[in-house]
Structure 1
């Protein structure tokens, strides 16, 4: 039968084993089998390897012989290999490890190890089965299972089509949205997707995806449902289309909610416009009767300082109170629309406090309060004088209103520290009715007021503190309030950033206007409020001016052609032809000199002023304009 010599490299050098002919056949079997085979000595050196193992390791067969098997596995798996070889000396053992191939790839293998058949030489026989294909199959199966799970459980409609557009996989949501089982039907035939104009688009979407194009977020309808559809191709490695995937989301409810929100927004905007229009009309209607009252009072004062002085003072006080209420309404409206513009300058705080105290003094004296004022010297803020004066006046009048007669009010202004950037703190403290804990968080909200007495002696609309907070914040400051509760008084604190000393702005004291020695003017007065027009005409005539009065636009234009006015005082809300149109037409008349147009109107919003300028007005006065204000306007 012949024999074969097997040479095994050992510690004592090469050893030769002579195999009978039958053993040669076993060796031929090992050389040709699909598994890798190794013989290892007791130190783990490879003394024999078949061609298949060399192929798995990507190492030439000649280089494998004499190398250490531990070098063929990653570091992380060497402990497993050592345990396998040690355990195999007692009984056959197997384990799954990875070979670290020479090209850097990791090859999963299943190693079976057992002691050698030759008792004279201690050898270990190892068989390595390649698990790469099995792992790939397992991965494919796992991926397939995961894909199925994802598709089945998707909350949106997911559909997978084959190259002819037939549905081969679908999510439960897709069937629910479509109202039918979509599997094995042609998607474009079983799902009737249409655009807003009713055109069928399902065929076009599928055809586009199968041609390699992507559709993203197309809005379509399916019966009564609104859907967003996306589609794209499934490509092979050579970019040929294996099919396509479509997704569609039911947005019917979200569109309904969005439409409802839009309608609510439009309704709110309409209501807001209506409110602004109402406020404008309210201001116009309230200011119109105030104008002749104010002018009449001024005439009475000019004619006689003593005649019915007490009655005149009462009327003036109540008229000014109504003017402030109207101004508060408009201020809140402008604030909510972001239309407040500040004219900021460096102001001495002491001067500002003096103005505010002067404005609040009539109410403080009327209620017999004791007011103490303490202002640190040299304090400067960068502020709009009118607005900050309004803030301090509101706090002082608020304290006066909500403190029982004979109470105490303290105004203290100081710097919180010596640091140049330290804030300026203004505090108004009273001994009044206090503020409950429940009301404190809302005290600066519009139309919020504390408990009133049955006589409503406090008055007001609950807007003063809302205006205070808004104006202070517009100046980069903050405002807060403290109160121990009902009957414990209140303390309001304003904190403002300091200003820098530069050219200080000084304004006229409140309530004073210099008398103007005006040139005699030809003045045309146009107002549908007969009392307002006639009283203003009488007042200007007493000032030496030549006056003509009209109560509507057409009459005013007829008078202008013969009267040739130098100044026209026009109301805006006129019958037949509004003041804007009267102004435009007056500009077109061939008058001897350029006419000066002044709007004297109850419309005082920023938009009203802008429209007046666009119509050609030179100035805009809001009713009730005082006699002296009008006199100043006649001679700019």
Structure 2
């Protein structure tokens, strides 16, 4: 007797097998099979289901058997198709369906089914139900992966199998590499000119080893529209596609063209190299210019010295040195000597060779000397000069050089003011720690576009045809350099042509160069107390740096900052024992900075000392209320600062 395997459940259920042992064995087989089994009548009623079927969907026997199969199918069209196929005598293999579980979830299954017919009529169907949830999730993931690659904003392709055939290629990839119909072709077939090259080798290596590859600037030579080879650059990455067994199944290739970016960077790098070379050339030219000026000044002095000596001898012998011609020669020689002196001075300044001799002087003495130096030209041109100097005002710096600055400004004003004009020299305190010197005239004035140019070396502006103003265009450049050496600044002001000019010099009462002279050559001193870790914060760069040098000379570890943000960032690393804080800082003032420092772990126990240009009783009281132990008034006395820091001892 031939037994059709699909009829096994049917045979068991009907008792067709007469042997009791065989019947029991078969019954146990179908009832306890790991695959879900069920039987459906021609009207769609579920006639029987095994344990695996019920457990898969979560139903009890009476909740499932006896009900219409459509109650458990999520898609009506699917069950209609299944029933129609079986009624017509068809067979189903791997028919996907979605079944509704008792807990409301949806189970993805695959159904294998055929019908049992008698006398041409369907008696019931025999169905196997297999849980396909994992397969469905994998299929969804693969579909999402493929959709992501196809819709990616960058060029992407998927090559699969040992032959590395293109399985998916998005439009961006085809556009980028100017190709089409890649699917189904190997990499070598699609790009014969790259076969055997580095790209093909890397794709094969990624597939073989499962390790990714990335190139920031992969260069490929392709033909342009005119058929000429053209280098193109790509950011290129290869990612292995791993299978369920952990072995590579394919390679995902992603490419982004960065040709324009690379060419822009290369252009910038070329420009940078050219700029560096230009700077080298400019420095060489500047050095050659400075050396030429120095040589020229010294060479001009050689013939001037005997001329001046000869004039003096002629005057002593009475050989006509006091004649009109002798006076002319004397005036012109004096003028030439001043020009040579200016040449020598500017060459020394630009080469950093100038040597300032610092002392404390009354500014009235300095300006008096400057007026004396410029008086001859002022008198010759018939000007009226008014001088207003604040009495008792003292300054630290090089008085000879400052007199030269003021004299040059007065000479410049006299030279560019029509005869019979007016000049004003004014000197006054500007705040607690600075002085302002201004020279104003009723001269030809300055156009807006030349106000900054007047301080450039050899700049002279528009001259009359007879060059009656004279000069080499050195004086104002020298003024600017000397003022900046003292830590100051100079500015030119004018309402316009014909409306006069004003030059304003602003200098610290204790200039940076004075501080350097005070501390720069100081030998290392023995600490007045235990060495401290000092945090010094002051936006006056020169003042802070020189004070830091002084404290280091006394054996302290000092870190200097010119803005509060940088100082705060260093606190937890440096753990200062003393903090000297300028009250007038930008962004955060000294009081706010002190509070922030105390709030940090590295600032606990730190002693606070205030630096300020204001020293009234109210200023001291406010500093004390903010937690500062001392309030030092600028300009800070170096000895006092050293004693204050040395007196502080770290606290636990």
Given the two structures, how large is their TM-score scaled by the length of structure 1?
0.48
The structure in which a higher percent of residues are helix is 2
